[in-house]
Amino acid sequence: MHSLIQLSIVVLLLPLLSFVILIFFNRRLPRRGDFIGVGILGSAFAISAYIFWSVIVQTYDPAFRIAWDFTWIDLGNVPGVGPLQIKMGVVIDNLTAIMLAMVTLISLLVHLYSTGYMAGDKNYGRYFAFLGIFTFSMLGIVLSDNLFSIYIFWELVGLSSYLLIGFFFEKQSAADAQKKAFLANRVGDIGMWLGILILYSQFHTFSFEQIYANLAAGQFGLSNGWLTAAGILLFMGCVGKSAQFPLHVWLPDAMEGPTPVSALIHAATMVAAGVYFVARIFVVLTPDALHVIAFTGALTAFMAATIAITQNDIKRVLAYSTVSQLGYMVLGLGVGAYSAALFHLVTHAFFKACLFLGSGAIIHAMHHEQDMRWMGGLRKHMPWTFATFTLATLALAGLPLTSGFMSKDAILAGAIGFAKVEGGGIFYLIPVLGFFSAMLTAFYMGRQIWLVFFGESRTHLKPADDHHAGHHAHASHDEHTDEHHSEHGVHEVSWNMRAPLVILATLSVFFVYSPDPLDGGKGWFMKMIQTPATVVGENNHQKGELLAAGVAAPTLPEAVPTVAAHGEAPAAAAGEHGGAEKGGHTYADPRQAEIIHAGHGAHYTAIYISSIMVLLGISLAFVVYVFRIIDPEQTAIAIQPLYLFSLNKWYWDEIYEATFIKGSMLIANILSWFDATIVDGIVNGAATLVRNFALLNDGFDRHVVDGMVNFTAFTVNTTGAVLRKLQTGKVQTYVVMLLLAVFGYFVFYLTRLIY
Amino acid sequence: MLSLIVFLPIIAGLVILAVPSSQKQIIRIVSLLAALAQGVLAVLIWRGYNPSLPGITGSFQYVEKVPWISLQLGGFGSLNIEYFLGVDGISITMVILTALISAIGVLSSWTIQKQVKGYFILYNLLASAMMGCFVALDFFLFYVFWEVMLLPMYFLIGIWGGPNREYAAIKFFLYTLFGSVFMLLVMIGLYFSVLDPATGNHTFSLVAMATQTNYIKGAILGPDNVFWRYVAFIVLFIGFAIKVPMFPFHTWLPDAHVEAPTPISVILAGVLLKLGTYGMIRINFPLFPEVFHASMYVIGIFGAINIIYGAFCALAQKDLKKMVAYSSISHMGYVLLGLAAGNSEGMVGALYQMFNHGTITAMLFLLVGVIYDRAHTRQIEKFGGLASYMPVYAALVTVAWFASLGLPGLSGFISEALVFVGAFSSETTRPIAMVSVLGIVFGAAYLLWSLQRMFLGQRRSDAAYDLVVGDDGHEHIHFHDWKGKLDLDGRELAMLVPLVVITIFLGIYPMPVLGMLTTSINKLVEVLSPVVMSHL
Amino acid sequence: MFELPSGAEIQSIIASLQASVGFFIPEIYLSLLFMLLIVIDLVAKGRKNNLLAITTLVGLAGSFFFIYQQHALPAGEFFFGMYVLDEFALFFKYFFVLSGMLAVVITMADEQFDSEVKSIGEYYALIVAMVIGMIMMACSSDLLMIFLSMELVSFTAYILTGYFKRNARSSEAALKYLVYGAVSSGLMVYGFSLIYGLTAQTNLIKISAELATHGYDPLVMIFSTLLVLAGFGYKIGAVPFHFWSPDVYEGAPTPITAYLSVASKAAGFALLMRFYYIAVPHDGHAYEDILGIDWLSLLILLSVASMIYGNVVALWQKNVKRLLAYSSIAHAGYLLLGIIVMDELGTQATLFYLLSYFLMNFGAFYVVILIANKTGSENLDDYRGLGKSMPLAGAALTVFLISLVGLPPTLGFIGKLMIFSALLAKGSLYMWLALIGIMTSVISLYYYMLIPLNMYLRESRHHEEKQLSPGMPAQIFMAVLMILTIYFGLFFAPLSDFAKYSSAMFGLTLH
Amino acid sequence: MEQLTTIGLNHYLTISAFLLGFGLFAVMTRKNAIVVLMGVELILNAANINFLAFSKYNGGMEGVMFALFVIVIAAAEAAIALAIVINIYKIFKSVDVSSIDSLKE
């Protein structure tokens, strides 16, 4: 077993340890044992940093991959299949290494930050325990080498997010939000599970390696439609987790959780897991599946952006921006800009975490005021927060010199290339939506910055009897509530909350990733994370003659590695643009090759357009909020319907409430009525019969059965009565009966004898 | 060994018979000791079990086979009934489960105050009968145990049950009897159709019956008598399906559960329901493999109906216990689905689901019992915000609830996953599996919803308890006429913690149970496979 | 026109009579016992001491010795074919004597006799007479003999039913029993006369031979068979000839109810089997329409009707004795199932079922009496809470009822098992009969369970928790019966082997 | 013509059939218990006539003996019946069989 593997397993288990310790003993420990959480995460980060170092920096090899697995369930010698095991395992490649470092780092920072933010909460210890189990599950997703374990940890992050969203469970809204989040995710998981099942049912294995190998060998028994379905279904998992349309509704509500949690789970890591998962299964996605993914992403990005511009809750704005950014990533994967999407995943993780923690600092300072309308002028009071927040904002908006610029631009470039290759038309919608959302992003972030940090404090404008419920629920912070909001209440946060902000802000600058602020492609990241060759391209069917023709098509069983190897090796050598052309030749699947090529070609166009859009957006923000040339209120009234449409989040919640929730409750009630009356009635045929013959006892009387059964009861009842009445008690009747019986049969027999 | 584990409780019952009914504590302790001894025996059996032997059609372990009754029947040779016990991978898991659940049941019976003596006598009789069913390999013997279960159950529900207990008890009795009397006919039919290759006599031995070559051509259930074989299969299936309970034969279950006292609900859900599916696996399918093959699709459909229908009904329930009852219906649906798949993954999943459902549902009912003891109501609307005041209870409920909705890391998940894997891998049940996956969501829906209504948020105005400010200044809640500890007390923890531990452990490392199953299941799948049947 | 027989002939007649007497010892013994009892009664002036009862018990027990002796004798007919001796007959001899003894025991337990009648003198004598009558029924192979023995049984039954002279219900029951019995036996005799007319024979075996050789007019045959069936049906109390039984069973003294419901029913069956197996022609094919007389379908009709009617109407009953009366109708139906099969296995099953029915029904009635002694009532509602106040009685009654339902591990279950085995052994032919039997037994569960339901599930109206003990001997006897019911339910080989041994019938051409 | 003049078996049978009919009629319709019992006697005597007729026309003494025994039985039956009826009269102050129906259903 490779030493890195061992280390990674240690990293995986450390947070679990922290969870176990804290959940059981937090009340017995000093400071509720938060230091344990922080300490353990610190060491976890240290180890993963080492892994990162040795994988990315030392062995600078795009094809780097080590894996290890063990038999978890042994089904013995299954008839018709042969020996069958379900294995669990760990895989480390560049992506894993990067994610590992990223997750542990952010988690560590959030732990640290929380020591300040959550101080004094009555479930302080439990909070860190939950963070621990979340980190554990997240790392699990990152490290898994097979679909089954990824599904397991998938559910587990769902659980931890459930627990953390509902951390203030006394608050009804929190309780609702956590339920909503879990169920929405479950819906996604169903799809994912079915997708997994489709693949398993063909190959009787869950491992990525073997599934891809088998697929590359064209051993997929079912039609290609099934394969596309598998891709889309697996993508549903991402739709749930990464809050893509139509399952995006849970993420904004998830902001009911503590803000650091929002930063960790609902901005940086868990929601990105969906994207990560799609990246993992990228190679099985058929073109059709990819189209679906691309459009979903584009739509999500656009929709969320439009919603974000009108939200007033500082966290909700960020939440929708998160949705929108996730949309970008998904879009990126959909258009085949694989590395760009993942690049954006990482950069976004850092700056969005920074933004959330910043907003957390603001909320903390404002005594849990979350409505931007009552903020303003915080610039002076919280310089650190202001600086870091702004930097992160720029990154999010995608201004040059920031990390966000590079990644987003790469995605958009890919989108353009994709549209070109797919032959334009409807497909240009994707880049267009992308660019438009970029503008919107710039606009609403500018708005936020302005509302929060500039101008004068508007705390006093706040109507008094608003949002009190919000306060009561925070049992932990009751001491604040009676304090009236005034500026001298607002002050910069303490170091343990400031440090994370600074670190994250620094990670949002370009040089961390690439020497050239205009091209992420030159950076180490894009080198390390190369688009893997698809195993389901058109060429799958003619793989036969391809092999005959001696074309170096991937061959079993180490198909993926070979492709990767002799695909990327030259690419890596050829620095700069090399990736594109050489890559073009090396991808077995022509479509994929073209797209990547076109993507690189469209690089600069993308830069120009996006910069313009961003500038447009920011200037618009200035026009509206700084120079007040356009009065937002007036505009809002002027475009009332549009405004409301956006303010009410396109009415998705209402729609779902009206259809799915109401619908299923209706069905449930109908069915249970059906059960209590009809089924019970019908199946009780015997019992009913018995009952109606029997002495009536109250239990039976109370039991209502529906008309049909009543009818049975009635008939049976009457017949029973009749039979009973035969016993008149008059002996002569008996004699008559006797004779009737005898002669009756005799006559019957006579007739039978005659005919 | 097996005889001992089967008859221990009855012995205990006889001992109790001698104890004067005033000595409640002694009576309880005697039964507890018996149950614990049973548990120890179960562990010993488990340790000594060799998982590499398949069973099903032979090579059973701990076999005890003594001629019981042999009498001359007219021209039909001698009626040979054997006292034939033995375990294979399928039964041993159930044996362990039974031992575990009945021990926990005894603990939970501690609160029974009315007619303690009679209660425990019946309880022990029930325990023996259940155990007997799982180890009997002679159809006659199995049938005897099967029927002996009914009467104690009838009284346990009827005497110690809730307000509407008479109805529930007689309904349970009639339903299950209705199911089993037909089994009697099939049993006789099989007797006339099967020859024991060893002795050449007609036999009741299930082992002999499981081999299709032992059937007499032209006999009423002989291989060529297709019609009656189908009838027999269907009749048997209905008999077992009633126990499962399978839609539409399930309506006795909610009533029985709602009326039954907590320990009996635990036994009922934990073990009795398993008898239905166990019967299918042990008797129904291997004896009529070709019919099974013809009806896989239908069984799967019923499984799916159970899953979704049960979930929906649970979603609509106001009474917590009723909700849990419907959740059992839903979960037993997974078992049916897994069996319908007819492949190893599915069957293993089904068996494992039986085991897990046993432990998890036991947990659920115990937890319901806990709150019922305190509040004397089970109406979900009567609670709210309990989590703040009963943290330990809330924590355990959360674990149990999540185990029930199949959260990874808890045993329920693995079994459900395997069931789906199997059901999806088999061409026949694939579409059904795709539908029944919905059960995952609705399962989560009703469980989380009830969790939220009862434990999260604030106390409701009409709650079954009042808020009082304790001397330490914090708020506490107080149940009317409840003297005991507010949160779980020692006894309740003693019942629940083992189950929680098992659930988590088996969720992380299932092999201890699966390891015993796989060989037998693979053998079973082989027996059921059409290849084998072709050369009848 | 009939010239007197010569001396030689008379000698030979006397000789054969003397020879025959050797086969007749148990009956003679019992007749002596009968007279002895009357004498003792005269001496004892009918004072209520247990002397008579004990004597009866001992006397009846003594008859076992003589009956046992007869195993040595070869099966055959004597008294000029009036009377046969075979294993079948022996079985019923044991059966009737035993049931007579049980009747006596139950009577001793019944306290109603103390209140109802002053002297109990001829009572036991009549029971013995009835035993004799029934034994003769089981042994008679001649229409005349059948008629005489049946009348003997009936008359004693009339008297015993009306034994509580001052009790309206008892007297009414007696009247109804009398009228109904007289009519049906009258019809039977008329049927006999027609058969005699057809065959000029009264001996069953000769009749069957005659019919087989010369054939007959089916119309007359079916008519006479029907009339005869009316007589037998009335004895076994099968629908539609059952109407007397509920009233009589309810009105009669409980011991007599038990006695009639078990013993005279069994006698009826003995006769039925002998008559239909031997006299009515069939070429060994039981289940075909034999020479135009499908009397088998007739019996099937009876059996189905009895099973359904008995069980269904029993659901309504509020009086336990009456409930058991209806259940006994249903059981007649189950017994008929065994006869319909018409083979060795069927006979064996029927006999076995009789044994099990004997045990459980007597047990049930015994407990009912003990409860009636304490509560003075046989109404279902007065059974509330008895489970607490009379634990053993409750348990025993539950066991007997479970056995009557036919659930393991009781004797009743094995009885049903045998019957259904006999049916299914014929292949799928009688499957539907078996199904009906099964279904009705499920129904029967409901009303049988009403009794435990009242005893255990419901609290007694008067809330004082007093223990009612029927006394030690009764307790023990009850427990013994209960344990036997369960023991034979688990180890029934001896009974079943005995039944098989007894299924051999003289002159039977079935198998 | 010959049918009418010379008495044959059928005449006997017809008579007995009539007797049976009358007997049954009496049993079914008459209210007085005594009359009902007379009906029973008629039935028995119908059987007797059959026996004697058959015994005359196909020889053999069985029929005669049977008839004798039936007569005896009938006598005994009458004795018991009367005893019971008298007892009934004591209790119900009436011998109307149709009014004595306390035991029913």
**Token reading at B475:** 């708020």
Are residues B408 and A152 in contact, defined by beta-carbon separation less than 8 angstroms?
A: yes
| More confident site: B103 or C466 | B103
Rounded CA-CA distance C402/C349 in Å is 19
**Token reading at B293:** 């093959």
Q: How confident is the model at residue B364 (pLDDT cuts 50, 70, 90)?
A: very high
pLDDT(A570) > 80: no
Interface contact A732-D28, CB threshold 8 A: yes
What is the CA B257 to chain-centroid distance, rounded?
13
Using one digit for the tens of pLDDT, what is the confidence trace for A222-254?
A: 788 888 888 899 999 899 888 888 888 888 888
| More confident site: A207 or C312 | A207
Question: Smallest Cα–Cα separation from A151: which of A177, A118, A114, A189?
Answer: A189
pLDDT(C137) > 90: yes
Return all residues near C307 (Cβ < 8 A) that are at least 6 apart: C330, C333, C334, C436, C437, C440
Q: How confident is the model at residue B328 (pLDDT cuts 50, 70, 90)?
A: very high
The segment with the largest mean pLDDT, out of A4-18, A118-132, A669-683, C418-432, is A4-18
Please report, rounded to a whole number, the percentage of residues in chain B having pLDDT higher than 90: 40
Interface contact C155-D76, CB threshold 8 A: yes
Q: How many CB atoms lie within 10 A of CB B19?
A: 16
Using one digit for the tens of pLDDT, what is the confidence trace for A727-740?
A: 777 888 888 888 88
Residues of A in contact with D100 (CB under 8 A): 731
pLDDT(A465) > 70: no
pLDDT(A633) > 90: no
Distances D18 to C118, C195, C217, D73 between C-alpha atoms, Å = 46, 19, 21, 22
| More confident site: C100 or B376 | C100
> Residue C462's pLDDT is what?
67
> Residue B75's pLDDT is what?
63
Average pLDDT over residues B13-26: 89
**In this structure, what DSSP letter does residue B62 have?**
E
**Residue C467 touches chain B, beta carbons under 8 Å:** no
Using one digit for the tens of pLDDT, what is the confidence trace for A118-150?
A: 888 888 888 888 989 999 999 999 999 889 999
Rounded CA-CA distance C39/C55 in Å is 12
> Residue C217's pLDDT is what?
77
Question: Smallest Cα–Cα separation from A314: which of A445, A133, A434?
Answer: A445
> Residue B489's pLDDT is what?
85
pLDDT(C215) > 50: yes
Report domain extents, chain C: 16-180+238-278, 306-511
Q: How confident is the model at residue A713 (pLDDT cuts 50, 70, 90)?
A: very low
Please report, rounded to a whole number, the percentage of residues in chain A having pLDDT higher than 70: 84
Per DSSP, the three-state class of C232 is helix
Interface contact C193-D77, CB threshold 8 A: no
Average pLDDT over residues C255-284: 84
Please report, rounded to a whole number, the percentage of residues in chain B having pLDDT higher than 70: 98
Report domain extents, chain D: 31-94
> Residue A592's pLDDT is what?
76
Rounded CA-CA distance A688/A712 in Å is 8
Tell me how close the Cα of A73 comes to any Cα of chain B, in angstroms. 6
pLDDT(A551) > 60: no
Return all residues near B226 (Cβ < 8 A) that are at least 6 apart: none
Tell me how close the Cα of B526 comes to any Cα of chain A, in angstroms. 6
Interface contact A724-D105, CB threshold 8 A: yes
Return all residues near B230 (Cβ < 8 A) that are at least 6 apart: B291, B294
**Residue A722 touches chain D, beta carbons under 8 Å:** no
> Residue B403's pLDDT is what?
92
Q: How confident is the model at residue A681 (pLDDT cuts 50, 70, 90)?
A: low
Tell me the H-state helices in C431-502: 431-452, 472-490, 493-502
Interface contact C409-B188, CB threshold 8 A: no
Average pLDDT over residues C182-197: 92
Q: How many CB atoms lie within 10 A of CB B466?
A: 11
| More confident site: C292 or B234 | B234
Distances A401 to A51, A326, A516, A523 between C-alpha atoms, Å = 28, 21, 9, 13
pLDDT(C42) > 90: no
Residues of C in contact with D84 (CB under 8 A): 158, 162, 171, 174-175, 178
Tell me how close the Cα of B21 comes to any Cα of chain A, in angstroms. 30
Average pLDDT over residues A441-450: 86
> Residue C281's pLDDT is what?
58
pLDDT(A482) > 50: no
Using one digit for the tens of pLDDT, what is the confidence trace for A28-76?
A: 877 787 888 888 889 999 999 999 888 888 887 878 888 888 888 888 8
How many beta-carbon pairs below 8 A join chains B and C? 101
Interface contact A732-D101, CB threshold 8 A: no
Please report, rounded to a whole number, the percentage of residues in chain C having pLDDT higher than 70: 94
> Residue A414's pLDDT is what?
85
pLDDT(A565) > 70: no
pLDDT(B225) > 70: yes
Average pLDDT over residues A644-648: 75
**Residue A735 touches chain C, beta carbons under 8 Å:** yes
> Residue A558's pLDDT is what?
38
Are residues C345 and C404 in contact, defined by beta-carbon separation less than 8 angstroms?
A: no
Tell me how close the Cα of A76 comes to any Cα of chain B, in angstroms. 6
Mean pLDDT of the residues in chain B: 88
Mean pLDDT lowest for which of A625-634, A691-700, B122-131, D11-20? A691-700
Tell me the H-state helices in A70-146: 94-117, 124-143
> Residue A683's pLDDT is what?
58
> Residue A542's pLDDT is what?
40
Sign of CA dihedral A636, A639, A645, A646: negative
Mean pLDDT lowest for which of A612-626, B39-53, C327-341? A612-626
pLDDT(A488) > 70: no
**Residue B461 touches chain C, beta carbons under 8 Å:** no
Rounded CA-CA distance A302/A309 in Å is 11
> Residue C49's pLDDT is what?
67
Sign of CA dihedral B49, B50, B51, B57: negative
Tell me how close the Cα of C328 comes to any Cα of chain A, in angstroms. 16
Are residues C322 and C250 in contact, defined by beta-carbon separation less than 8 angstroms?
A: yes
pLDDT(D46) > 80: yes
Average pLDDT over residues B305-321: 88
Using one digit for the tens of pLDDT, what is the confidence trace for B278-312?
A: 999 999 999 998 899 889 999 999 999 999 888 88
Interface contact B71-C497, CB threshold 8 A: yes
> Residue A560's pLDDT is what?
41
Average pLDDT over residues A355-382: 81
> Residue A566's pLDDT is what?
41
| More confident site: B297 or C469 | B297
> Residue A687's pLDDT is what?
54
Are residues C485 and C411 in contact, defined by beta-carbon separation less than 8 angstroms?
A: yes
Mean pLDDT lowest for which of A171-175, A369-373, B485-489? A369-373
Residues of C in contact with B144 (CB under 8 A): 408-409
Interface of B with A in 314-343 (CB under 8 A): 315-317, 343
Tell me how close the Cα of D1 comes to any Cα of chain A, in angstroms. 30
Return all residues near C15 (Cβ < 8 A) that are at least 6 apart: none
Residues of B in contact with A74 (CB under 8 A): 511, 514-515, 518
With CA atoms as reference, the chain B residue closest to C458 would be: B159
> Residue B240's pLDDT is what?
92
Mean pLDDT lowest for which of A174-183, B407-416, C217-226? C217-226
Average pLDDT over residues B219-246: 88
Report domain extents, chain B: 288-511
Are residues B273 and B325 in contact, defined by beta-carbon separation less than 8 angstroms?
A: no
Residue for token pair 């110690």: B160
Mean pLDDT lowest for which of A352-356, A727-731, C141-145, C499-503? A727-731
> Residue A704's pLDDT is what?
32
Interface pTM, i.e. ipTM? 0.85
pLDDT(B468) > 80: no
Interface contact B182-C449, CB threshold 8 A: no
Using one digit for the tens of pLDDT, what is the confidence trace for B24-61?
A: 899 999 999 999 999 999 999 999 998 888 888 878 88
Interface contact B409-A665, CB threshold 8 A: no
Interface contact A729-D103, CB threshold 8 A: yes
> Residue B360's pLDDT is what?
93
Average pLDDT over residues C331-343: 89
pLDDT(A589) > 60: yes
Rounded CA-CA distance A326/A642 in Å is 24
Interface of B with A in 339-398 (CB under 8 A): 343-345, 348, 385, 387-388
Topology, domain D31-94: Helix Hairpins (1.10.287)
pLDDT(A469) > 50: no
Judge D/B contact: 3 or more CB pairs < 8 A. Answer: no
Interface contact A720-C226, CB threshold 8 A: no
pLDDT(C157) > 90: yes
Average pLDDT over residues C195-221: 82
**In this structure, what DSSP letter does residue A602 have?**
T
A483-487 contacts at long range (C-beta below 8 A, 24 or more positions apart): A483/A367, A485/A366, A485/A367, A485/A369, A485/A374, A485/A459, A486/A459, A487/A377, A487/A381, A487/A457, A487/A459
| More confident site: A745 or C451 | C451
